[in-house]
């Protein structure tokens, strides 16, 4: 599992010109899955996302988590995070999990995040053509890969 975490002051996702999810202060998380991702991978990444200290404290040092600042989460499925660009100019997505595998992983990831946050998280729609807007704060953008946890 791989996620791109962006600290935002606002973010939203539209599908067919209708807002599906919207947050103010918080994290926009793009999430991609592989066929060999496990429940442990999902739990580990979810814990990292909600506990990562990337928000400024009173001294403007990154010491606070999204939970500490009472921020929100917007989670977007993003199979292109596993693009293979080694050959040619057209990326291959063979390493990304197919929808039958990825959808349950995506839904479980959302459940773990909601449990950890103690509130609902905003989402896009798996497989939809989405328009994502954000105001990256900092900018702060971090990649987390469950295969790099050791």
CA distance linking residue 100 with residue 19, whole number of Å: 26
Which of 121, 126, 145 lies closest to 44 in space, CA to CA? 145
Whether 24 and 44 have beta carbons less than 8 Å apart is answered as no
Active site amino acids: 80
Helix (H) and strand (E) counts for the chain? 2, 8
Q: Which one, of 34, 17, 129, 14, lies nearest residue 74 by Cα?
A: 14
User: Which of helix, strand or coil describes residue 130?
Assistant: strand
């Amino acid at each position: 599992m791989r996620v791109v975490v962006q600290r935002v002051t606002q973010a939203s996702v539209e599908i067919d010109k209708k807002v599906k999810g919207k947050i103010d202060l918080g994290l926009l998380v793009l999430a991609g899955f592989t066929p060999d991702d496990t429940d442990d991978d999902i739990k580990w990444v979810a814990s990292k996302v909600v506990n990562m200290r990337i928000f400024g404290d009173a001294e403007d040092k990154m010491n606070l988590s999204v939970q500490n600042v009472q921020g929100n989460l917007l989670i977007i499925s993003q199979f292109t995070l596993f693009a293979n660009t080694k050959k040619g100019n057209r990326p291959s997505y063979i390493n990304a999990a197919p929808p039958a595998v990825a959808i349950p992983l995506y839904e479980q990831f959302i459940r773990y995040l909601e449990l950890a946050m103690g509130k609902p998280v905003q989402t896009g729609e798996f497989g939809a053509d989405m328009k994502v807007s954000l105001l990256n704060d900092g900018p702060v953008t971090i990649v987390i890969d469950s295969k790099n946890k050791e």
